[in-house]
Amino acid sequence: MAVSARPIAPAASLSTRSAPVVRIQVTVNGSPISAEVEPRTLLVHFLREVVGLTGTHIGCDTSHCGACTVHLDGKPVKSCTVLAVQANGRQVRTVEGLEVDGKLSAVQEAFVEAHGLQCGFCTPGMMMTATALLARNPNPTEPEVRDAIRGNLCRCTGYVNIVKAIQLAGKKMQANPTGPGGSP
C-alpha cells in the first residue's frame, strides 16, 4: 500500500509546530499551570491533553451534552465552548478537584449512594453542574434540580437517581457545611 509518509517529529499533543502559540497561565484545581497553546485550543482539550486531566469528557460537538462541564472562576461552563486562552489568569476546577485531602465531596458521595451513575461518562460534568447548583441553592426541589441539569445529557440513568443524588448531596452539605465540595 502506498501511504505517503514523512519523518515523524516528536508528537506535540495538540498544536502543530509552525502554528502561532500563546503562553497562558491557568490555575487548575489550585495548581498554577503555564503552557503554550494555539489560540484556537479549546479549554477541554487543554485540560485533557496538556494538563493531563482526563476526567472532563467530550460527548458532542454542538455544546449540548455537558460532559465537559468545569468551573471557571466558580461558574459552571462547557469547556468545549471556551478557548483555553479565555481561561488565562483564571481559576478552573475540574472533577479531579472535587475530592479534597482524600475526602470525597458531598456530591461525589451522594452520586454513589443514590446510584446516580452507570457508565460514568456524563458523571463528571453532571457533578460539576450539581456542585454549582448546590452552592447557590442547597435545598433544591425536584423541578429545580431537573432545570439545573438540563444542559447535561445522560443516556444511562434516566435522571431519576441523579436528581435523588443531588438532593441527597444538598442534605449532606447542610449537615456538614465545612466539608469538601461545599463551596465552588
Partner 1 sequence: MSAEAPHVKGGLGQSILRKEDARFIRGKGNYVDDIKLPGMLYLDITRSPYAHAKITAIRTEKALKVPGVLAVITGKDLAAANLAWMPTLMSDKQMVLPTDTVMYQAQEVAAVVADSRYAAADGAAAVEVDYEPLPVVTNPFKALEPGAPVIRTDRKEQSNHIWHWETGDKAGTEEAFRSAEVVVGQDLYIPRIHVSSMETCGCIAHMDSVSGRFTIYMTTQAPHAIRTVYALVTGLPEQNIRVVSPDIGGGFGGKVPVYPGYVLASVASIKTGHPVKWVEDRSENLQADSFARDYHIHAEVAARKDGTVTALKVKTLADHGYTDAAANPSKFPAGLFHIITGSYPFAKAFVEVDAAYTNKPPGGIAYRCSFRVTEAVYTIERMMDILAHRLKVDPAELRLKNFIPPDAFPYKSALGWTYDSGNYAGALKKAMEIIDYAGLRREQAEKRRRGELMGIGISSFTEIVGAGPSHTFDILGLKMFDSAEVRIHPTGKVIARFGTKSQGQGHETTYAQILAEELGIPADDIRVEEGDTDTAPYGLGTYASRSTPTAGAAASMAARKIREKAKKIAAHLLEVSPDDIEWKDYAFRVKGVPTKSKTMQDVAFAAYTNHPQGTEAGLEAVDYYDPPNMTYPFGSYICVVDIDKETGQVKVRRFVAVDDCGTIINPMIVDGQIHGGLTMGFAPALLEEIQYDENGNIHGGSFMEYLVPTAVETPHWETAKTVTPSPHHPIGAKGVGESATVGAPPAIANAVVDALQPYGVEHIDIPIHPWKVWQIIHAGAPKTG
Q: Binding residue for partner 1 (CB under 8 A) from 24, 28, 45, 173?
A: 45
Cell numbers at residue 149, please? 441539569
Residue range at the interface with partner 1 (CB under 8 A); choices 83-91, 121-129, 133-141, 170-178? 121-129
Q: Which is nearer to partner 1, 161 or 182 (CB)?
A: 161
| Of 23, 74, 79, residue with least CA distance to 54 | 79
Q: Binding residue for partner 1 (CB under 8 A) from 151, 171, 179, 184?
A: 151
* Residues in touch with ligand FES (CB under 6 A): 58-60, 63-68, 78, 80, 117-123, 154-157
The rounded distance, in Å, linking the Cα atoms of 152 and 160 is 14
- Number of chain positions touching partner 1 (CB under 8 A): 75
Can you list the pairs that 6-10 forms with residues at least 24 positions away whose Cβ atoms lie under 8 Å?
none
Q: Give the shortest CB-88-to-partner 1 separation in angstroms.
A: 19
137 is a site residue for partner 1 (CB under 8 A): no
4 is a site residue for partner 1 (CB under 8 A): yes
| Of 66, 59, 71, 69, residue with least CA distance to 26 | 71
Q: Is residue 32 within 8 Å of residue 24, measured between CB atoms?
A: no
Q: Give the shortest CB-74-to-partner 1 separation in angstroms.
A: 19
Which of ligand FES, partner 1, none interacts with 144 (beta carbon under 5 to 8 A by kind)?
A: none
- Tell me how far CA of residue 101 lies from CA of 97, 104, 105, 180, in angstroms: 10, 8, 10, 9
